[in-house]
Structure 1
Amino acid sequence: MPRLLSSLLLLALLAGCSQPALRPTADAAPVGACAPCPVCQACPLPEVPKPPEKPLQGAAWSDLPGWSEAPAEDLAASFDAFRASCNGLARQPLWQDACTAARGAAREQAGFDPRAWFEAHFQPWVLVNPDGGREGLVTGYYEPLVRGSRNRSKRYDVPVFGPPEDMITVDLSSLYPELKNLRLRGRIEGRKLVPYYSRAEWSLQENQRAKNALLWVSDPVDFFFLQIQGSGQVQLSDGNRIRIGYADQNGHPYRSIGRWLIDRGELKADQASMQGIRQWAESNPGRLQELLNANPSLVFFRELPVTGNGPPGALGVPLTPERSIAVDRRATPLGAPVWLDTTQPLSDTPLRRLMLAQDTGGAIRGPVRADFYWGSGSEAGTRAGRMKQKGRMWTLLPRGYAPDQGEAP
């Protein structure tokens, strides 16, 4: 028996030589040092984590799939969208020269070559994920149209709120520059700043806050999807139409209600589209609030006039249908042209187009990630709801500029 125990102990000690010991030694070894195997006295070399890849890496025009074959009229439409972006970019040093050139270009004259213009003023940079992958997710969004009223009634009983007075927003970059573009939302409770109300907590207060509603809409599911899109149009009962746009958010993270339904076995993955979610809600009216509360994020709005082709994006200029995308501004600067290589919704048909990074979104995270703006109305909504494609992206930056590899300007 002692001989058996000794053999087992020896095997255990030898086995320890094949794996690094994760705890430090018990004597004077520095914290983090491995405990050498007592038999072979070897200390395995620790694995050094690979540093994340730079999000923007140099590329050539020939790297862009379909660039040389893109129709001139298609690139001309993208040029127009870039020139519109200059309304929000012209004062930024990075874009001054390109915007001056765009405004001075003879776009309307015969012989204008938009491909040559972009190649003369920009240099492509391929977007790369931290793990080195160059492929990411491309989804779609649109501007919903819902029915509403200035006054509450039995038909119009879903409130639309502006930013509440008791919500405090702290711009963290003013204290910590490394936290650029991050804001903290909360409320005062006693002498403490605590997280602001979640969707579920807010829903319990809506009747008390009803007097502060901007307007009222008829369908809670329609309005929920409008919140996800960030803006929309409201057809009022008096015949007028207005636009409501993103004003602020409660600070809670976005959670997919489609994923919530899948995880609980309520829907299969291929059923969790906007249409599938709507059908589930119609079949389960008693669980509607439970479904909506699965997403704690809540969006507050402001009223806007109905002008331009689309709502204003994060850049402050109206979005252009099928030319604007939402991006992660930590990798792609707002206003930049972006060559997108993806496919049509639910299809293998190539969709290669020069887009403009004119918007951002709470769910748009990562260098190779885009949200494709399809436009307004139900047809655009159908396309957006079906779009979940793989894609690659190249950001075009002014010639002579070498981007800071930590984050976009």
Structure 2
Amino acid sequence: MTEPSSAQTEVTYQILDFGDLDGWAEDKHDEALQTFLNTCNDLDDPDWRALCGVAADAGNARQFFELFFRPVLISDGKDPLFTGYFEPELDGSPVPTPRYRHPIYKMPPEARDIRPWLTRREILTSGAMDGRGLEIAWVDDPVELFFLQVQGSGRVRFPDGRHIRVGYGGFNGHSYRSIGQELVRRGTYQPHQVSAQVIKNWVRRNPVDGQELLFHNNSYVFFREVSEVPADKGPLGAMNRSITTMRSIAVDPAFTPLGAPVWVEKDGKKPMRRLMIAQDTGSAIKGAQRADIFIGTGDKAGRIAGTLKDPGRMIVFMPIQRAYALLPESVQ
């Protein structure tokens, strides 16, 4: 596990009992074990590799976790926060048509070498991308395409029912600028009113000003096709494996090892108590008590994810020897 930087608040570790985990006995431990098995073979550390071998033959999932792990509450002084993310699904076409005319682009070679490269406005209006065969697909909604770039991955549904999946392929080197914060700065909305759906509706109601609002964000994300992932599986996470709806979370790997089980106690309007697996990361996911829950694919998942912003706590399951090694010598 990467050590936190000296600039961060002092990190504390507390080993808990499984009886301290609210709702632990009621969870579906088999689901969590299957999600753990999706990525545990990719873990290089000997402690984790040994547990992966045992997990493959575990007859009782709950007993497996209780026998070989200890729950560790890791705190860095920041308030816990759970948010949600999802995989967008856009309507598109493998060829341009009058309806499908907004391209999903692969990254041009020169954009990797020149930093920063062209801005969003320049990419979309200068003709720099024309005639180069960089289009992966064309979609019907530029607003959904913008938010696909925010999420970094998604699926495109073709008229014949086929799907392709696209993943993050790089960006133009410009810093991300929030269009939600820009609407607040202009006085269009109050901070508590802003959500992805509110922004989408405003842009569609105001097509000219809406396009200018999207240009406010100079950052532009390019994609790559990742259709080797079956349509019935989740998108690829940071471990280059499919993530699982409501069992995978994005974490800060400076505190939580990728591949580790994490007990989630999310409060708020819809409390959640379940074991999830840390299989993804995100640029906004920073801190020991910060997690982004993968809600699933499509519009319904997007609506749920967009409203999730709740307190609670997360407890990382560590192999027994590693858990006790984290404690100060005075309490070991």
> 1:5-154 alignment to 2 at 5 Å?
52-55=8-11, 57-62=13-18, 64-71=20-27, 74-89=28-43, 91-106=44-59, 112=60, 114-129=61-76, 132-133=77-78, 135-154=79-98
2:169 to 234, 239, 247: 247
Give 1:21's aligned residue. none
The 3 A distance-change label for structure 1 pair 316 and 51 is: closer
1:118 partner SS:
helix
Gaps of at least 5 residues in structure 2 are 1-5
Gaps of at least 5 residues in structure 1 are 1-49, 107-111, 169-185, 188-193
Contact (CA 8 Å) 2:84, 2:305: kept in 1 or not?
A: yes
Cα deviation, 1:36-82, whole Å, max 9, x if unaligned, reads: xxxxxxxxxxxxxx9744445132125844154333xx122111110
Give 2:184's aligned residue. 262
Pairwise CA RMSD: 2.4
2:116 to 195, 204, 210: 195
> 1:269-288 alignment to 2 at 5 Å?
269-288=191-210
The 3 A distance-change label for structure 1 pair 166 and 386 is: same
Give 2:105's aligned residue. 161
The 3 A distance-change label for structure 1 pair 208 and 162 is: closer
Give 2:291's aligned residue. 370
The 3 A distance-change label for structure 1 pair 250 and 67 is: farther
The 3 A distance-change label for structure 1 pair 376 and 255 is: same
The 3 A distance-change label for structure 1 pair 210 and 61 is: farther
The 3 A distance-change label for structure 1 pair 352 and 219 is: same
2:224 partner SS:
strand
Contact (CA 8 Å) 1:56, 1:331: kept in 2 or not?
A: no
Cα deviation, residue 315, structure 1: 0.8
Contact (CA 8 Å) 1:254, 1:362: kept in 2 or not?
A: no
Contact (CA 8 Å) 1:159, 1:210: kept in 2 or not?
A: no
2:251 to 327, 342, 345: 327
> What CA distance in whole angstroms lies between the structure 1 residues aligned with 2:315 and 2:175?
28
> What CA distance in whole angstroms lies between the structure 2 residues aligned with 1:100 and 1:206?
53
The 3 A distance-change label for structure 1 pair 66 and 310 is: same
Aligned residue pair count? 318
> What CA distance in whole angstroms lies between the structure 2 residues aligned with 1:394 and 1:374?
20
Please say which of residues 265-274 and 333-342 is displaced more in the overlay: 265-274
2:26 partner SS:
coil
The 3 A distance-change label for structure 1 pair 221 and 136 is: same
Cα deviation, residue 206, structure 1: 4.8
Give 2:3's aligned residue. none
Cα deviation, residue 267, structure 1: 1.8
- 1:221 paired to 2:143: yes
Cα deviation, residue 141, structure 1: 0.8
> What CA distance in whole angstroms lies between the structure 1 residues aligned with 2:12 and 2:107?
36
Give 2:316's aligned residue. 395
The 3 A distance-change label for structure 1 pair 363 and 210 is: farther
Q: Match of 2:17, as an amino acid? A: W
Cα deviation, 1:334-369, whole Å, max 9, x if unaligned, reads: 11111111135xx1x321111111111122122221
